[in-house]
Chains A and B, each alone.
Chain A
Amino acid sequence: MSFSRDRITGIVLSAFSLLYLFFSKDIKVFKGSGATPLTSAFMPRFWGTCLLILGLLLIFRGGFRRTDDGKADRPSTLAGQKKWLSDNREVVLTFVLIGVYSAFLPFLGFTISSALFIFGQILILTPPGKRRPGTALLVGIFFAVLIDSVFVKLIGVLLPKGILGF
């Protein structure tokens, strides 16, 4: 187990819990008749405090029990970050592609954006040198049209139509 990783996790969690606790001030509390002694802000503050304590525990644990394990993949320097990005290109691209897919769904519509998504994702998930863009495109178009036909026309599920109307 890598304790340096624990420390990073602890820092992220602590920062998140502080933000979470900070924004709990925006929760309006109901004080009228029938109000409960524990308000709607109680649980978020309780969970936020728990998370902060646990995050600090991870930092403490990671700081005092750190081993060299996990140091290598820690992208602390610019070169390290570049290497991490290069090693995890497919992971980053997958997240980016899902983001792009979400962004374009309302404009391009389900069929076109799904065909492009399937095409792109197949290419990302295929080892370099084995990629067949033609096949990927055909699979993308075929399944996008098939899914659209089954869900929209047969089952009646409403899917985004986009500017082209499908």
Chain B
Amino acid sequence: MSSPLWTGFSSVALDPFILLLIFAGVAVGIIFGSIPGLTATMAVVMFLPMTYTMTPIQGISTLVALYIGGISGGLISAILLNIPGTPSSVATCFDGSPMAKKGEAGKALGAGIVFSFLGTLLGVAVLVVVSPLLAKVAIQFGAYEYCALSLFSLSMVIALSGRDLAKGLISAVLGAVWATVGLAPIDSKARYTFGFIELTAGFKLLVFLIGIFAITEVIRFAEEVRKDIRYDIREDVKVRGFGFSFREFRSQFINMIRSAVIGIGIGILPGIGGGVSCMLSYTAAKNSSRHPEKFGTGILDGVVASETANNASIGGAMIPLLSLGIPGDAVTAMLLGGLMVHNVAPGPLIFAKSGATVYGIFVAMVIAAFAMLVIEFLGLRVFTKILRIPKNYLLPIIVVLCCVGAIGDSNRVFDVWGILFFGLIGYGFIKAQIPLTPMILGFILGPMFELNLRKMSQLFMMNPLSFAERPIAIGFFIVTAAVVVLNIRANRRALD
């Protein structure tokens, strides 16, 4: 049998080296997720250079394992420290920490781990079913559709990334502005290179993301140095079995399904990701509960809602990444960089051109979910100890590793200056209270929008009625307009 499905499956599941990489990736991801301030994105940034010499499937499996471990690991510090390890675990604190204070840390951790696992599997299941279908539809997309789609994606990011519409727009536009540096699409005319040969190819996605995420994280820590913050870590945690009964599991079934649907849905929408999905699913669980007053006092429902949703959003975020080349959140933006490094071009043709690799990614995600379940249960004591690693020693090493990633990608030191530049921009954004996520999407979607808008202008000049023959594009434009209008209204209401 030599179908892409079988090749993908056998290249991952039957290769002990890849299995080792997945287990190691998940373990490292959990460590990154559990330490407050270190995120899944940073784990992917840091380990991306290690994958340079690997085969695409080895490299991408490792990155995906880091992603899954990183999102799940956040629950450990959320429950034990009342500090979310990653933004995806914010809502886990609400009930996880009170449970730990009541002496139910084992139950909270057990439920968090099991429902993270189930959330991941549900997300991957939807990914496996939906992404080939979406790719089939997207294969018919032309300039009109891609132009409309990138505009729609940008409008979603702006609409849902924060309360301040103007600042969301500024962030997205600035992202698109940085992407105009280098050669223009179609006619390859140099723009804003100022005589620097290094700028001819434009700013690299990886350099941009490292600056925005890794450097700003170091700066955030630097701001707090004199406060000498210490955490009170509970190390007396014991989990018997899964930490909760089968009856409790059954009582959470509907909560789990609802949260997974929210997580997957939010994951699919560009630029939003786990942070929003856990909050929305927590709110949905509270609103549909018979005892909403108990939320926040330490009940299982809150932990289940948050952890199912944030892990389900992984599969959701991978859908637009693989099928359309549009990342669903910051980590998938980094994975987009990883796919590019390994010459795997995401988009509608991915199943035709790199089918085996894509199916391999699906298998790697399932294995990573199982690895997460095993590693988190067995290594819980180790992870609580790791929370004590001083970040003042850890962060400088991470910066150096990020620089290795940037240099190794293109063999030039110039990119370290790029990291510094975007670090400064990121810090400026934080100080100005401008959200960072829209800028990432602006940076990725800006060139896609420009390329297709210019192609569209050409098609339109040749046949002005050609636009009327593209119902999908018209649909996207209408939805985009609706999203913008609704968001402006909501913003006005909030300001009043």
Contacts and interface: CB of A to CB of B under 8 A. Distances in A.
A42 B455 CA distance: 13
Interface string B183-206: 011110111100000000000000
B465 interface: no
Contacts, number: 185
Nearest to B171: A54
B391 interface: yes
Contact of B404 (A47, A125, A127, A157): A157
B22 interface: no
A15 interface: no
Contact of B189 (A40, A55, A117, A156): A40
A37 B169 contact: no
A156 B234 CA distance: 42
Most chain B Cβ neighbours within 10 Å, of A12, A40, A55, A128: A40
Given A13-B170, A147-B401, A157-B52, A122 B396 contact: yes
Interface residues of B, number: 66
Interface in B359-412: 391-393, 395-397, 399-401, 403-404, 407-408, 411
Interface in A98-118: 98-99, 101-102, 105-106, 110, 114, 117-118
A91 B190 contact: no
Contacts of A8: 432
A150 B191 CA distance: 38
Contact of B166 (A24, A54, A124, A151): A54
A66 interface: no
Contacts of B416: 98, 101-102, 105
Interface of A, secondary structure class, is: helix
A43 interface: yes
B359 to A, nearest CB: 26
A51 B170 contact: yes
Interface residues of A, number: 72
B340 interface: no
A47 B173 contact: yes
A103 B50 CA distance: 24
Given A37-B460, A58-B166, A124-B225, 19 more contacts: A6-B432, A28-B189, A30-B189, A38-B453, A41-B191, A51-B174, A54-B173, A61-B166, A91-B219, A95-B423, A95-B427, A102-B416, A105-B416, A114-B403, A118-B396, A124-B222, A125-B225, A127-B228, A144-B400
Interface of A: 1-2, 5-6, 8-9, 12-13, 20, 23-24, 27-30, 35-44, 47-48, 50-51, 54-55, 57-58, 61, 88, 90-91, 93-95, 98-99, 101-102, 105-106, 110, 114, 117-118, 121-122, 124-128, 130, 136, 139-140, 143-144, 147, 150-151, 155-160
